[in-house]
Amino acid sequence: MSRQEKAQRLVSQSRVRVLSLTDEAVIADVRGDHDTYRVNIIFGTDDTTCTCPSTVQDCSHVLAALIGSLRVTGARRGLRVVEGGSS
């Protein structure tokens, strides 16, 4: 399973809790397969952190937090995030 697929699964299973979302950053708790991890993302930079043990910069928890923040933003604007799609 790819990081993107795992992130989609975490979001679809409601395992992402966005704690703070501003125009500059997002802070979220993501309940992974083994523990809950804190994710901090500062938009427009490479400054992302996750408390998971992964050595990959953009782990599945970071991706899930990004997807979760898009859903929150969309909900605030009355929009619905559509996953997948066809070309």
The residue with tokens 């996750």 is: 50
- Going by pLDDT thresholds of 50, 70 and 90, the confidence category of residue 74 is low
- Going by pLDDT thresholds of 50, 70 and 90, the confidence category of residue 56 is confident
Is the distance from CB of 42 to CB of 66 less than 8 angstroms? no
What mean pLDDT is reported for the chain? 87
- Domains of the chain, residue spans: 3-76
CB proximity list for 28: less than 8 A, separation 6 or greater:
16, 17, 18, 19, 38, 39, 64, 65, 68, 69
What are the backbone angles phi and psi of residue 10, rounded to the nearest 5°?
-60, -40
